[in-house]
């Protein structure tokens, strides 16, 4: 049988398949570079596990208070070594990336302090955490003020605006690495390092926190290598490797992480409590697999950009540009095109492939959002998914794929649905 025969069974037409093969042939050099980064990061993770003598006893389940949970405590030592930080908090009790960020912000900001976003408007779900949009228990309600330095028109950091925004009340600067629901360039670790150096030069004691979601293991270094006091992310994105069913991490200085632990549990308890509930095998193995899984997702993102650029759709980043996160933004120009794209991604899923995604008023967002995600772990962004708010410029954000062949199928079926809807002509 030809390779195309299985694609035909999955709903891909010959013209779509042949376009994909043409694009794929042009990407071999890019894919080789991604594989070399994955090999480096695999070694880094393995070295941290060996240094901390991971063994079968670390996989034992704990319940209740979780006192003396050596598997949990050792996993946090592994994370601290991988991210080259003094300490780490890695817990199933952290429910998502937004929760991890809220814990880090709430723990390290006190009434009268000011939070500064150095990269413009933060991700939508943080608006209520901060109090930009009114919400119970927001930072604003607790007396924390907010300022932001907008990005330049080209999406780059406005260093002069950041310098002007830092004042005597600025306690913490937050830096969002990934683009979120914006068609701006993702920040590289090098760019983040420059920004942190600027902030520290203006106010040496300011805390610099990086929202690292979607960026882990994309480069050979992490923001913590570039001077970040805190790096924060979700385990159902990159570092969970598709196996972690829940959880988040916070890595950073001992002081900052200690405060986060007290905020997550209770003052005086900190990291001493929090049972692992039998999730240690998934957490350890997910981290071990993460560099390779991230490589597959990156290849899928590059392939998506290559396909859609060929058809004239604006892509951020372009197929030929170096990557700093796993997200691929494709500006489709209409509600109908976004819906068709997401239908294609959903139809490629191993779970709920028969479901038709529809836009809906998702909590935490100010516009209807369409999401395609047939995942083994609900909401897992390292698995194949696509989503976006239904608003101009009508950009869809494609990410994930536990393997490149699955990501490739998703891209081809998204194009198939656009063709069947008469939105593109091949």
The predicted pLDDT at position 264 comes to 98
CA distance 269 to 132: 31
Please tell me the CATH code under which domain 43-287 is placed: 3.40.640.10
What ranges do the domains of the chain cover?
A: 3-42+292-420, 43-287
Closest C-alpha among 361, 415, 366 to residue 15: 415
pLDDT, mean of each 10-residue run, the chain (426 residues): 94 98 96 98 98 98 97 98 98 97 98 98 92 95 98 94 98 94 88 98 98 97 98 98 98 98 97 98 98 98 98 95 95 97 97 94 80 94 95 94 98 98 94
The predicted pLDDT at position 364 comes to 65
Task: Tell me the whole-structure pTM to 2 decimals.
Answer: 0.95
How far is C-alpha 131 from the chain's CA centre? 22
Does the domain at 3-42+292-420 match CATH 3.40.640.10? Answer given as: no
Q: How many residues does the chain have?
A: 426
CA distance 413 to 405: 12
CA distance 306 to 32: 16
DSSP, collapsed to helix, strand or coil, labels residue 124 as coil
DSSP 225: G
Which tokens is 383 given?
Answer: 């698995």
The predicted pLDDT at position 182 comes to 78
Q: Are 132 and 185 in contact (CB under 8 A)?
A: no
């Amino acid at each position: 049988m030809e390779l195309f025969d299985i694609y035909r069974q999955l709903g891909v037409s010959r013209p779509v398949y042949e376009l994909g093969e043409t694009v794929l042939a042009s990407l071999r050099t890019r894919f080789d570079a991604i594989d070399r980064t994955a090999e480096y990061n695999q070694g880094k993770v393995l070295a941290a596990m060996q240094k901390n003598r991971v063994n079968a006893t670390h996989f034992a389940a704990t319940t209740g208070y979780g006192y003396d949970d050596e598997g949990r405590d050792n996993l946090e030592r592994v994370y601290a070594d991988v991210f080259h930080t003094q300490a780490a908090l890695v817990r199933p009790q952290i429910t998502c990336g937004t929760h991890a960020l809220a814990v880090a912000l709430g723990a390290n900001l006190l009434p009268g302090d000011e939070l500064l976003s150095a990269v413009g408007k933060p991700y939508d779900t943080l608006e209520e955490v901060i109090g930009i949009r009114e919400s119970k228990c927001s930072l604003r309600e607790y007396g924390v003020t907010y300022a932001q330095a907008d990005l330049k028109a080209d999406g780059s950091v406005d260093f002069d605006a950041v310098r002007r925004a830092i004042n005597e009340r600025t306690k913490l600067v937050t830096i969002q690495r990934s683009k979120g629901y914006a068609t701006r360039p993702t920040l590289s670790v090098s760019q983040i390092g420059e920004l942190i150096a600027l902030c520290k030069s203006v106010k040496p004691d300011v805390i610099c926190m990086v929202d690292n979601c979607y960026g882990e293991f994309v480069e050979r270094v992490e923001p913590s290598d570039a001077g970040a006091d805190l790096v924060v992310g979700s385990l159902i994105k990159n570092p969970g490797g598709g196996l972690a069913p829940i959880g988040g991490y916070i890595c950073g200085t001992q002081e900052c992480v200690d405060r986060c632990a007290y905020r997550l549990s209770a003052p005086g308890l900190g990291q001493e409590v929090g049972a692992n509930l039998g999730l240690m095998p998934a957490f350890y193995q997910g981290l071990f697999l993460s560099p390779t899984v991230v490589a597959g997702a990156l290849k899928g993102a590059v392939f998506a950009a290559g396909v859609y650029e060929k058809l004239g759709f604006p892509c951020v980043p372009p197929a030929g540009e170096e990557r700093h996160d796993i997200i691929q933004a494709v500006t489709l120009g209409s509600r109908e095109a976004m819906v068709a794209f997401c239908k294609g991604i959903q139809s490629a899923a191993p779970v709920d492939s028969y479901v038709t995604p529809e836009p809906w008023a998702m909590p935490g967002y100010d516009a209807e959002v369409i999401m395609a995600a047939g995942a083994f772990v609900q909401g897992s962004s390292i698995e194949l998914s696509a989503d976006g708010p239904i608003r101009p410029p009508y950009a869809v954000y494609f990410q994930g794929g536990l393997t490149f062949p699955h990501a490739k199928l998703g891209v081809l079926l998204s194009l198939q649905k656009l063709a069947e809807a008469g939105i593109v002509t091949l």
